[in-house]
Amino acid sequence: MRIAFVSSSLPRRCGIATFTSDLMAATRAADPDLSTWVAAIDEPNVVRPYEPEVRWRIRQGHPNSYRAAAAAINDSKVDVVNIQHEFGLYGTWHMAGTESVYEDHLMPFLEELRKPVVTTLHSIPSEPSPSMCEAILSIVELSQQVVVMAATAVDLLATDYDVQEPPIVIPHGMPAIEPHGRIRIKAKLGLEDRTIISTFGLVDPRKGLEYMVEAMPDVVARHPDALYLIAGQTHPNLLRSQGERYRNSLVDTVERLGLRDHVSFIDQYIAQRDIVDLLLATDVYVTPYLDPRQITSGTLAYAMGAGKAIVSTEYIHAKEALGEGRGILIGFRNADQLASAVNSILASDERKQTLEHMAYAYAREMTWPKLGRRWVELMSRAAAADTTRPRPRKAVAGSSRRLHD
Per-residue pLDDT of the chain (405 residues; tens, 9 = 90+): 999 999 999 999 888 999 999 999 999 999 999 999 999 999 988 889 999 999 999 999 999 999 999 999 999 999 999 999 999 999 999 888 878 899 999 999 999 999 999 999 999 988 899 999 999 999 999 999 999 998 989 999 999 999 989 999 999 999 889 888 899 999 999 999 999 999 999 899 999 999 999 999 999 999 999 999 999 999 888 888 899 999 999 999 999 999 999 999 999 888 888 899 999 999 999 999 999 988 889 899 999 999 999 999 999 999 999 999 999 999 999 999 999 999 999 999 999 999 999 999 999 989 999 999 999 999 999 998 755 554 444 334 344 333 333
Q: Which 8-state DSSP code applies to residue 228?
A: E
Identical fold for domains 2-173+369-403 and 182-365, yes or no, is yes
Let me know: does 401 contact 162? Beta carbons within 8 Å: yes
Q: For residues 3 and 23, what is the distance between their CA atoms, to the nearest angstrom?
A: 11
Domain ranges for the chain, please list them.
Answer: 2-173+369-403, 182-365
Q: CA neighbours within 13 Å on the CB side: how many for 289?
A: 25
Give the three-class secondary structure for 134: helix
Q: For residues 257 and 374, what is the distance between their CA atoms, to the nearest angstrom?
A: 48
Q: Is the dihedral of CA 377, 18, 352, 310 positive or negative?
A: negative
Q: At 182, phi and psi to the nearest 5?
A: -60, -45
- Helix (H) and strand (E) counts for the chain? 16, 15
- For the chain, how big is the Rg over CA atoms in Å? 22
The CATH fold assigned to 2-173+369-403 is Rossmann fold (3.40.50)
Q: Name the class of domain 182-365.
A: alpha beta
Q: Residue length, the chain? A: 405
Continuous segment of H or E residues that includes residue 232: none
Continuous segment of H or E residues that includes residue 309: strand 309-313
